[in-house]
């Protein structure tokens, strides 16, 4: 069994999965969960006694989360290495732990970033997942969370570049922080609740709705502009704020949960990749 971890800017998402043998296996989880950064110490307990043989992690959350994950993974490995109970023949071996890092070519995606290793590993994992789900198609891959990334992938698997902008929650929070009278909009917090006001006019008649509408229009506009610039490519949308943005897009879109984790599932089954045993 695989333990796949996506440590993002706000939350740490994880799944337990079998290696994908075919496309239909992608995104099929045996168990899953997510915690905010301040609850990372609960993860080893959440993983429990699952027979994990390998761990693959994409971490863009920085050194503090990195160190906390190392501690939790050590507890997982110690649990596997503990003496077997009397009624068990043997204890499963401790799982291997790898950290996903960007490179020039991974699992069918060729990374044309000027410095390939500087591409966020979560963005590359999302591109790998997108190509596995919709192979041989030109794609715009938009992952909308704390930050929104909008990346262009050719039908032949070449990542030609992308854009990064504040996610809708960060946009709204910035307005509240840097203006004297504009309020904070709780509904803009990425990954919470259903999409409110889905049928609202783009021209709101109150301040809260105007902020909500403006932030989502900015997100949708960036994605639509990228689709046009990439020759009308299909849009694959993911991330905690995707449910807010999808109804406002005027282009064909496929929404997929946990695209980064799907990419890690692909990488885990694709043979030798750009993995680090000891993260730098």
Residue among 107, 111, 163 at smallest CA distance from 135: 107
What's the rounded Cα separation, in Å, for the pair 230 and 228? 5
What's the rounded Cα separation, in Å, for the pair 192 and 246? 15
Residues 273, 56 contacting (CB under 8 angstroms): no
> Token pair of 78, please?
């110690």
Place of tokens 């009278």: 181
H helices within 111-189, ranges in order? 121-133, 168-178
DSSP assigned state of 186: G
Residue of 6, 122, 151, 209 with catalytic role: 122
Q: Edge-to-edge strand order for the sheet containing 234-238? A: 105-106, 109-111, 158-166, 147-153, 139-144, 234-238, 253-255
What's the rounded Cα separation, in Å, for the pair 173 and 177? 6
Place of tokens 């943005």: 245
Q: Measured between alpha carbons, how far is residue 242 from residues 66, 85, 169, 210, 238 in Å? A: 26, 45, 12, 19, 5
What's the rounded Cα separation, in Å, for the pair 256 and 253? 10
The radius of gyration of the chain from alpha carbons, rounded to an integer in Å, stands at 20
User: Does 87 qualify as catalytic in the annotation?
Assistant: no
Question: Residues 6 or more apart from 224 whose CB is under 8 A from it?
Answer: 249, 250, 251
Residue among 221, 252, 253, 226 at smallest CA distance from 239: 253
Catalytic residues: 122
């Amino acid at each position: 069994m695989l333990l796949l971890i996506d440590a993002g800017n706000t939350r740490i998402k994880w799944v337990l999965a079998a290696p994908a043998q075919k496309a239909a296996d992608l995104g099929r989880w045996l168990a899953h969960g997510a915690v905010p950064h301040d609850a990372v110490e609960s993860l080893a307990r959440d993983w429990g006694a699952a027979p994990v043989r390998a761990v693959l992690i994409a971490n863009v959350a920085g050194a503090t989360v990195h160190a906390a994950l190392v501690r939790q993974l050590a507890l997982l490995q110690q649990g596997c290495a503990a003496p077997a109970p009397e009624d068990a023949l043997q204890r499963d071996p401790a799982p291997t732990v790898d950290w996903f890092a960007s490179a020039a070519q991974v699992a069918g995606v060729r990374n044309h970033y000027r410095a390939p290793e500087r591409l966020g590993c979560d963005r590359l994992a999302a591109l790998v997942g997108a190509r596995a789900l919709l192979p041989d198609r030109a794609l715009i891959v938009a992952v909308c969370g704390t930050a929104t990334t909008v990346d262009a992938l050719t039908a032949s698997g070449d990542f030609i570049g992308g854009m990064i902008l504040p996610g809708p929650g960060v946009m709204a929070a910035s307005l509240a922080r840097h203006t004297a009278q504009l309020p904070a909009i709780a509904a803009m917090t990425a990954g919470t609740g259903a999409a409110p006001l889905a049928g609202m006019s783009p021209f709101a008649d109150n301040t809260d709705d105007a902020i909500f509408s403006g932030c989502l229009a900015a997100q949708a506009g960036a994605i639509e502009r990228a689709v046009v610039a990439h020759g009308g490519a299909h849009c694959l949308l993911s991330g905690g704020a995707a449910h807010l943005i999808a109804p406002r897009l005027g282009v064909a879109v496929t929404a997929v949960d946990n695209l980064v984790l799907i990419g890690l599932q692909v990488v885990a089954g694709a043979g030798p990749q750009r993995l680090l045993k000891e993260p730098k």
